[in-house]
Amino acid sequence: MKRLFQWFLTCAFAATAIVVVLVRYEDYLVKPWTRDGQVQADIITVASRVTGPVEHVRFVDNQFVKKGDLLFSIDKSTFIAAVNQARSQLEVDEANAAEALDVLARSRKLVAEDVDAIARQALVQYEYAWQAADAQVKASKARLETAELNLQFTDVYAPVSGFVTNYSLYRGTMSVADVPLISLVDTSSYWIFGYFKETSVQNIREGDRAEITLMGYPDTPLQGVVQSLGWGIAQSNNNLNYELLPEVSATFEWIRLAQRIPVRIHLTHVPPQVRLRVGTTASILIDTAAREEEYIEHGEVRRKVR
């Protein structure tokens, strides 16, 4: 009787272990998981559109700024002078154009009264002189507009709302046009990159629900959905050495490491107490069992959960 009980107990334990293994294996297939994830966001690099010394800095490192806030200003003196010079040149060109037009108008009037009063060639020259003067006025207006725009560009504003991070900008720094000076973390663009084994992504689809756990907030999960899956990763064996020969890594046939495929997760719910920071570590669980499927019923597109 005792042996029968022991045999029954052993079978029960074995059956329980098999069931647990099968359940875990099913979870592995239906709910792919990785702890190789990272918080990401759009990083906006800010540069001035003109060159000049920085006169004022309106923020400090790691400060939150709103879209449209003034970040820094460049010394305006040379740009004000350029505007004044362009405006003066425009006045001169407008006066020359007015004179050329007056000469042309009087010549036309004389010709209208007496055809032989002015040579035909002279009238044509007056016509060309006025056209050239008018073109010069338009060019001067364009130069004035450019000078005024450059003056406006001496004030640099935040293109998005976000955090200024890791900056090194101080009064007197020479700002060179189109050379980034500030990085902004766009707080409206956070997403998660999860790197899943190639053996796990075959069952992942766009729209699958995702649960994200940040290492810094282990008890506060975030919710999201799969936005897209990567279609390629870099191949180390394609690099060439200094002799232009392919560098092929030595591998063992009995060791096959699964590649990691990037999966982009769109965040749908972030608890208010969670502060997202770019580059922090995340674990991701994809629930493919709760996938929504579209089907057509009576000519209408409906959704069902399987």
Q: What is the band of 12 on the pLDDT scale with cuts at 50, 70, 90?
A: low
pLDDT at 26: 52
- Asked if pLDDT for residue 218 goes beyond 90, the answer is yes
pLDDT at 168: 77
Average pLDDT score, the chain: 84
pTM of the model: 0.75
The residue ranking higher by pLDDT, 50 or 287, is 50
- Classify 41 as helix, strand or coil: coil
Residue 193: half-sphere exposure toward Cβ, Cα within 13 Å: 15
Provide the token pair at 74.
């460049």
Q: What is the band of 16 on the pLDDT scale with cuts at 50, 70, 90?
A: low
How large is the angle between the packed helices 77-113 and 120-152, nearest 10 degrees? 160
- Asked if pLDDT for residue 124 goes beyond 80, the answer is no
Q: What is the band of 138 on the pLDDT scale with cuts at 50, 70, 90?
A: very high
Provide the token pair at 190.
């956070």
Provide the token pair at 77.
């003196």
- Asked if pLDDT for residue 250 goes beyond 60, the answer is yes
Q: What is the mean pLDDT of residues 172-185?
A: 93
pLDDT at 14: 63
Least confident of 58-72, 119-133, 262-276, 284-298: 284-298
- Asked if pLDDT for residue 213 goes beyond 90, the answer is yes
pLDDT at 69: 96
Cα of 118 vs its chain's centroid, Å: 66
